[in-house]
């Protein structure tokens, strides 16, 4: 269903073109008609003028009511009825975002069913310049007016998310993107070259530089975060768990940290299932596995 405001712009544009063309066609008749209308208006009594103004006003009100009804009725009521009110969806309102852009994000993540309705309410109530930036905790099936009240009041929140063991970069990006925490494509793009520590070596066969170096854990972040800060937080968590014992072991074996962690994970992979219960078995999570369990390696 085309968005109403887009259609209104298209209709007004076509109407303007049509009137312009009509004016050129009628030419002289237009001037005469305007003069005749002016004279007729002067000759009409006050009662006739009042009736004419009333008719014009009535037509305008009918059009306005129709537009409001169309906006109010837009959206998927069935989708709203099926929404889980306990599900948390995060919205990050950034500096410079318009009500239309915010509404689009809200509809994309299922918080509201019509971004047009959200935009209209924001415009009518003058909320455009009152929305505060930050992170907001919302849920599916909310009314646009309720969302706007939170955004205008600035009811921001901290975010909490958990990355399970075995998650690759693409899995992490999708989970955070689905929750509305980050833009999935932006996360993947920045992960390609993200190397905050020297031991994260560059290899031609590695598409994402930090693959395996983002520690699986539960994170709590302030509202003023971005993709860069999330990547740094997860990589820092990994680095803190890279114990002095592991670093010393790497030096003793004349291996780089990258090689040590890779080798440790391969050794771990060869252990029988009963000897590695509860450990991540996915080879792509080999670095995090080694750091988490401080796996000993024999030369």
| Nearest of 276, 275, 271, 267 to residue 296 by alpha carbon | 267
Average pLDDT over residues 122-137: 91
Question: What are the backbone angles phi and psi of residue 169, rounded to the nearest 5°?
Answer: -55, -45
Domain limit, last residue, from 99, 123, 153: 153
- Whether residue 104 lies inside any domain: the answer is yes
Higher pLDDT, 149 or 288: 149
The whole model's pTM is what?
0.56
CATH of the domain at 143: 3.30.1490.480
86 and 148: one domain?
Answer: yes
- Whether residue 252 lies inside any domain: the answer is yes
Binning pLDDT at 50, 70 and 90, where does residue 191 land?
Answer: very high
257 and 282: one domain?
Answer: yes
Pull the structure tokens for residue 56: 């014009």
Domain limit, last residue, from 153, 186, 220: 153
144 and 83: one domain?
Answer: yes
Residue 149 has pLDDT above 50, yes or no: yes
Percent of the chain with pLDDT over 90: 36
Domain limit, last residue, from 240, 262, 277: 240
- Whether residue 4 lies inside any domain: the answer is no
Q: What is the pLDDT of residues 9-52, one digit of tens each?
A: 454 455 455 545 545 554 554 555 556 555 655 555 555 555 54
Binning pLDDT at 50, 70 and 90, where does residue 6 land?
Answer: low
Q: How many folded domains does the chain comprise? A: 3
- Whether residue 170 lies inside any domain: the answer is yes
- Whether residue 123 lies inside any domain: the answer is yes
95 and 115: one domain?
Answer: yes
- Whether residue 2 lies inside any domain: the answer is no
Binning pLDDT at 50, 70 and 90, where does residue 90 land?
Answer: confident
Residue-level pLDDT at 92: 86
Q: How far apart are CA 101 and CA 118, in angstroms?
A: 10
- What is the extent of the structural domain holding 175? 159-240
> Among the listed ranges 39-53, 126-140, 166-180, which one has the minimum average pLDDT value?
39-53
149 and 83: one domain?
Answer: yes
- Whether residue 133 lies inside any domain: the answer is yes
Residue-level pLDDT at 24: 57
- Whether residue 225 lies inside any domain: the answer is yes
The pairs formed by 15-22 with CB atoms below 8 angstroms and a separation of 24 or more are none
Binning pLDDT at 50, 70 and 90, where does residue 260 land?
Answer: confident
260 and 221: one domain?
Answer: no
120 and 171: one domain?
Answer: no
Binning pLDDT at 50, 70 and 90, where does residue 88 land?
Answer: confident
102 and 115: one domain?
Answer: yes
Average pLDDT over residues 139-159: 93
Residue-level pLDDT at 130: 93
Residue-level pLDDT at 193: 94
Residue 65 has pLDDT above 50, yes or no: no
């Amino acid at each position: 269903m085309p968005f109403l405001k887009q259609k209104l712009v298209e209709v007004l544009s076509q109407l303007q073109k049509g009137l312009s063309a009509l004016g050129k066609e009628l030419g002289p008749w237009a001037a005469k008609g305007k003069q005749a209308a002016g004279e007729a208006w002067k000759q009409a009594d006050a009662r006739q003028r009042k009736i004419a103004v009333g008719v014009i006003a009535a037509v305008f009100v009918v059009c306005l009511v129709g537009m409001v009804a169309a906006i109010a009725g837009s959206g998927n009521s069935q989708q709203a009825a099926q929404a889980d009110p306990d599900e948390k969806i995060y919205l990050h309102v950034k500096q410079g975002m318009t009500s239309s852009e915010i509404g689009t994000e809200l509809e994309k993540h299922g918080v509201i069913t019509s971004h047009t309705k959200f935009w209209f309410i924001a415009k009518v109530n003058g909320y455009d310049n009152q929305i505060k930036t930050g992170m907001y905790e919302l849920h599916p099936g909310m009314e646009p007016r309720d969302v706007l009240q939170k955004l205008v009041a600035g009811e921001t929140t901290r975010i909490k998310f958990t990355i399970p063991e075995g998650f690759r970069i693409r899995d992490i990006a999708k989970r955070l993107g689905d929750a509305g925490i980050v833009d999935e494509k932006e996360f993947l793009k920045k992960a390609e070259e993200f190397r905050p520590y020297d031991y994260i070596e560059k290899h031609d066969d590695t598409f994402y530089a930090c693959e395996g170096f983002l520690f699986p854990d539960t994170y709590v972040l302030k509202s003023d975060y971005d993709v860069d800060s999330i990547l740094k937080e997860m990589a820092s968590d990994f680095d803190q768990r890279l114990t002095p014992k592991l670093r010393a072991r790497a030096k003793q074996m004349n291996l780089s940290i990258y090689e040590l962690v890779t080798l440790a994970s391969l050794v771990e992979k060869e252990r029988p299932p009963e000897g590695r219960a509860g450990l991540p078995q996915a080879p792509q999570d080999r670095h995090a596995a080694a750091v988490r369990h401080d796996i000993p390696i024999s030369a």
